[in-house]
Every structure is written in structure tokens, then in C-alpha cells.
Amino acid sequence: MSVLDEIVAGVREDLAAREDRAPLADVRAALADVDAPRDPMPDLRLPGSSVIAEVKRRSPSKGDLADIPDPTALAAQYAAGGAAAISVLTEQRRFGGSLADLRAVRAAVDAPLLRKDFMVTEYQIVEARAAGADLVLLIVAALDDDTLRRLHDLAGELGLTALVEVHDEAEAERAVALGAELIGVNARNLKTLAVDDDTFGRLAPLIPDECVKVAESGITGVVDVKRFVGEGARAVLVGEALVKDGDPRAAVASMTGVQA
């Protein structure tokens, strides 16, 4: 069993417990109390690099990254630095996140929010919107074609923007065939956790230029951002480097608007 398979198995167990507590009908009813979703695409299409800044306590590959007792304070720094969107980890077992973090950040900032999790059912998509998310992550490696399309379509129906994540050529082709508008290329292989810094440059030419291409993983600073922009990225998703930085506001600002 791959690392991704193990993570998804845990996600499904935790999901079943939430479904027992709050049936889908109840979660759908909560949508009536949520503000309209924010559209991140205009800012992500601006000239120069955009930053999706991540609230991330730990990861399967690195373990604990940062003590974040108040995710709203970190998110506020990201927003002040000009983040185009803020990603909030909600997977608990491997990443130390929660939906409570997402709800708290939603109440504190006006920037578009990405629910970063391993989405495998329609329930999670509705749950994300009810918690205030504006974007959801769809990992191609974790989903068969039918499920991927079903979740992508549901996200659209709810006004959510889907960040469709790929790791190799076959997944890039599937994302393009899906009609994804926002495609993330993750340099970290979630099946092995190995990082290949050349992944983005290899896959970017397979993705149409009208799509917003997002470089993910292994981004430590402006030099990396400049490289990926040169290879076709319009945005970068950054977690570890920002949560470890003593001045996340300045770090986000430094990575924003970078030209090739």
C-alpha cells in the first residue's frame, strides 16, 4: 500500500465518523448560511507570480513543521502580504489540520480559501463549501475518472473552484481532458513522498496556456518562484517555507509578482 493509499484510508475512516454526526442533508442545509464563494481566478491570472499560502502544521514527509496555535493570525499575515488565496490543511492524522481551522480562518480573512485535503466523496465537497471554502483540492492520483469528474462537476455547481493536482504525464492528460481551469503540478509524489524538482518543467507543456498552472512543493524562496514562472507557472503553492519563516507577511510579498 502506498503512502497515498494509507492517507486516503484514514481520511475515509474520519469521514465516516463525521457523516454519522452530521448527515449530508444537514450539511447541505448549512449552505444557506454561507456567504457566496469568492472567485480566485482573476488574481491568479494577474501578471507575475501569485501565491497560495498554506496553513500547515506538519506533513508525512517532514513531521512537525511549526506550532500554529492560532491559524487566524498566520492567515492574516498571509493576506496582508498579498496572498491570492490561502490554503488550509484540514486532514488531521498526517497534517494536524481540521475543519475548525478552516472555519476560523474564514471568519478572520476575506481572501479566497482552499480546503486542502484528500477529497474522495461528494460529502467532503459540500462540507468544504459549508465551512466557507472557495476552492477544493482534487488529487488525480487518488480518484478514478468517474469520481474525479463527479467531484469536479459538483464543485462547479456549488461555485467552488477546483485545484486539480497532478504528478505525472498521465495525470496531466486526465486533468486537461476534465476541462480543469486550475491545474497544480506537485513535485512530491504522494505515493512515495519523493520530490523531483524537474516535475513542473516536464509537465507544464502538456497543460494548455489558458489554464492557470500552479507549482507545488519544494518552493523555498524567490529563486524557486522565478524558475517556475519561467517554466510557465502563474502561481505557487507554498507551505513549509512560509510557516517556518519568521515574517510570513514579507515572505509572501517577496514571492508575489515575480516575473520570469
The catalytic residue positions are 54, 56, 116, 165, 186, 216-217
Radius of gyration of the chain (CA): 17
Residues whose CB is less than 8 angstroms from the CB of residue 112 and which lie 6 or more positions away in sequence, other chains included: 37, 38, 39, 40, 43, 84, 85, 86, 134, 135, 161
In the numeric block, the cell 507549482 is attached to: 215
**Strand 85-89 relative to strand 212-216: parallel, antiparallel, unpaired?**
unpaired
Helix (H) or strand (E) holding 164: strand 161-166
